[in-house]
Amino acid sequence: MIEVRDLHMHFGGFRAVDGASLTIEKGSITGLIGPNGAGKTSLFNCIAGVLTPTSGQVMFDGTDITGLKPHELFHMGLLRTFQIAHEFSTMTVRENLMMVPSDQSGETLWNAWFGRKQIALEERALAKKADEVLEFLTITHIADEKAGNISGGQKKLLELGRTMMVDAKMVFLDEVGAGVNRTLLYTIGDAIKRLNEERGYTFCMIEHDMDFIKQLCDPVIVMAEGKVLAEGGASEIMKNEQVIEAYLGTGLKNKPKKETAQ
């Protein structure tokens, strides 16, 4: 569980996050929505250690993680993916997955000289794990493709796969559905659901696609002007006058649609 208490992230005099408090319950897929500039990414970055908040507190399963760096959070099972995928483009998809665990013996000079057998064993175990991840994500067919050559949606799946190489507990997804075609969006959504239901992953996802949010997320937290504006089920949120107002105020095209009879 993540608890954010009265978080502020100021850039000079500008309050990108302005006293946000929220809880991400363990085992949930929590959606984080809001108009452009609402402070969603800044909040994500504060939780995931990319930014140090100006003030406030972030707790993860009862431990104060405020200001911890991404690699420290990584070892606690808290990871974030990026809106722009961070793949190593000249390596294959499988190799990209194998790069993730950072505590391999191969990283030390001592082991490079004396632990060849150990390294070979670890590499084999990593390759096996990578293949399991690829199978789970139904992308075994691109295992040997250079990551730079795969589609945008497949890169998003690879980002998700990276979290599986370390058995993450809490994953922050930044617009994982952006620019992805419908078929792959379904595959990504299905993988998120299965990771949540079968492997106990907790997710928090920033997303602009309201149908995608509705399919996956409960609850949905709405941010506006650096604060939490509302929280509830997706359908309820989409009918909330304050939420509609916040989106209309920015003249956005991708505002939540009102429910229509099926």
Q: Of 142 and 223, which CB lies nearer to ligand ATP in the complex structure? A: 223
Instruction: Tell me the closest approach of the beta carbon of residue 112 to ligand ATP, in angstroms.
Output: 39
Q: How many residues at the interface with ligand ATP, by CB under 6 A?
A: 11
Q: Closest CB to ligand ATP among 93 and 173?
A: 173
256 binds ligand ATP (CB under 6 A): no
Nearer to ligand ATP, 58 or 142 (CB): 58
- Name the token pair of 54: 């100006």
Whose Cβ is closer to ligand ATP: residue 16's or residue 228's?
16
Minimum CB separation from ligand ATP for residue 102, in Å? 26
> Which is nearer to ligand ATP, 41 or 187 (by Cβ)?
41
| Binding track, positions 6-45, relative to ligand ATP; x by CB under 6 A | -----x--x-x-----------------x-xxxxxxx---
CB of 33 to ligand ATP, least distance (A): 9
Q: For residues 40 and 214, which CB has a smaller minimum distance to ligand ATP in the complex? A: 40
Closest distance of CB 246 from ligand ATP, Å: 11
The CB-of-180 to ligand ATP minimum distance in angstroms stands at: 17
Minimum CB separation of residue 34 from ligand ATP in Å reads: 5
Query: What's the 3-state SS for 217-262?
Result: CECEEEEECCEEEEEECHHHHHHCHHHHHHHHHCCCCCCCCCCCCC
Report the interface residues with ligand ATP, using CB under 6 A: 11, 14, 16, 34, 36-42
